[in-house]
C-alpha cells in the first residue's frame, strides 16, 4: 500500500512541476539577453620600453528582449582585453536593473599596465603599422532574471569576442574592422 501511495505522490509532484514549468515558459516567454560590442575607444595608450599602459572605453549594447522579465546586473562582472594571449587591460561593469524591452549602452572602462615580451611587442608594432590589430575581448556578467516579486538564482553570461581594430591611439575612437562573438549562458 505505502509504496503505491509514494508513487502516486511522486507522480502528482511531477505533474504539478511540469504544469508550472509549462505555465512559466508560456506566460513569461523567457529569452536570453543579447550583447554586442559596439564601440572601442582609446583614452590613453602608452608603450614605453616593454611596458604597455592602456585605458580603453568599450561600449557594449545590452538588449533585454523580454516583455515580462527585467534583468538585474549583479556585482562581479569582468571585462578584459588581450592581445596574442597577453591580457592588456580589464574592468568591470555597473550594477543596475534593466527594465523589460530595454536596450542600454554599457560604457566599460578598461585599464591596465603590463609588460609585453619582445615578440609580442614586435608583432604589436607591426600590426599597428599595418592598421589591423586583433584583440580578444572576454566578458563575464552575472545576472538574475526578476519577475514581478521574485528573482532567479545567478545566471552566468559569458561572451568572447574577437575583434580587429585599425589603430590604438590616444584619444581616438578605433574603427572595428572585424568582429566575431561567441555567447554562452549557464543557468
Ligand X SMILES: *[C@@H]1O[C@H](CO)[C@@H](O)[C@H](O)[C@H]1NC(C)=O
| Closer CB to ligand X, 52 or 157, in the complex | 157
| Closer CB to ligand X, 71 or 168, in the complex | 71
In angstroms, give the least distance from the CB of 48 to ligand X: 28
In angstroms, give the least distance from the CB of 100 to ligand X: 9
The DSSP code sequence of 77-141 is: -EEEEEETTEEEEEE-PPPEEEPSSEEEEEEEEEEEEEEPPHHHHHHHHHHHHHT-EEEEEEEEE
| Conformation bin of residue 180: beta by default, left when phi > 0, alpha when psi is -120 to 50 | beta
| 8 Å CB contact between 40 and 174 | yes
| Closer CB to ligand X, 104 or 123, in the complex | 104
In the complex, the residues that contact ligand X under the rule CB under 6 A are 59, 96, 98-99, 102, 104-105, 107
Structural Rg of the chain based on CA atoms: 22
Integer Cα distance of 187 and 66 in angstroms: 17
In angstroms, give the least distance from the CB of 36 to ligand X: 13
Integer Cα distance of 50 and 122 in angstroms: 10
Integer Cα distance of 45 and 41 in angstroms: 11
| Closer CB to ligand X, 52 or 58, in the complex | 58
In angstroms, give the least distance from the CB of 43 to ligand X: 12
In angstroms, give the least distance from the CB of 26 to ligand X: 26
| Closer CB to ligand X, 68 or 113, in the complex | 68
- Which helix or strand (DSSP H or E) is residue 171 part of? none
Amino acid at each position: 500500500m505505502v509504496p503505491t501511495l509514494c508513487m502516486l505522490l511522486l507522480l502528482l509532484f511531477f505533474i504539478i512541476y511540469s504544469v508550472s514549468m509549462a505555465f512559466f515558459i508560456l506566460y513569461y516567454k523567457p529569452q536570453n539577453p543579447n550583447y554586442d560590442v559596439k564601440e572601442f575607444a582609446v583614452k590613453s595608450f602608452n608603450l614605453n620600453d616593454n611596458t604597455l599602459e592602456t585605458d580603453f572605453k568599450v561600449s557594449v549594447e545590452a538588449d533585454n528582449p523580454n516583455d515580462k522579465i527585467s534583468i538585474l546586473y549583479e556585482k562581479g562582472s569582468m571585462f578584459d582585453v588581450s592581445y596574442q594571449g597577453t591580457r592588456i587591460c580589464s574592468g568591470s561593469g555597473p550594477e543596475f536593473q534593466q527594465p523589460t524591452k530595454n536596450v542600454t549602452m554599457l560604457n566599460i572602462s578598461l585599464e591596465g599596465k603590463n609588460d609585453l615580451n619582445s615578440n609580442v611587442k614586435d608583432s604589436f608594432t607591426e600590426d599597428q603599422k599595418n592598421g589591423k590589430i586583433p584583440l580578444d575581448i572576454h566578458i563575464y556578467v552575472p545576472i538574475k532574471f526578476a519577475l514581478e516579486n521574485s528573482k532567479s538564482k545567478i545566471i552566468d553570461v559569458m561572451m568572447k569576442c574577437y575583434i580587429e581594430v585599425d589603430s590604438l591611439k590616444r584619444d581616438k575612437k578605433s574603427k572595428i574592422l572585424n568582429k566575431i562573438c561567441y555567447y554562452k549562458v549557464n543557468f
